[in-house]
Amino acid sequence: MTFRQATLAAFAAWEQSLAHPAQASSQPPKASESKPTNWLQHAAKLDWTKFPEVEILAGKDRRLWVLRGTLAPLSDILQCVEDGHPVEEVADVFQLDPAQLTRVLKFTGLP
């Protein structure tokens, strides 16, 4: 199983758990509930070179922004948050430090 397949499977399992009303109240609030309009577009335009929680992995054919100390692509993480997945779930799926992810989201302007 690839990392992508595992990530998709984890999100599918989470989505399935939301189908049960008894469990819905125990779910943490979604980050998207307080997100400003055009949040992801704003995040894409930020100068990430000024933020120490991310770094560029340079490969032979491309460069990829990741959270520092991980291989987690910043664009994938931000897209998951934009799609409404709870921050705690995103941190778990990408094996991130929740505090680091929270700092990244605050940098983007997400409360």
Residue 9 within any structural domain of the chain: no
In a domain, 76, yes or no: yes
| Domain total of the chain | 1
* Terminal C-alpha separation, the chain: 35
- The answer to whether position 3 is within a domain reads no
In a domain, 12, yes or no: no
Q: Are 106 and 43 in contact (CB under 8 A)?
A: no
Decide if 67 is inside a domain.
yes
Print pLDDT tens along the chain (111 aa).
Answer: 666 666 666 666 666 666 654 444 444 444 444 555 577 788 888 898 899 999 999 888 888 999 999 999 999 999 899 888 999 999 999 999 999 999 999 998 875
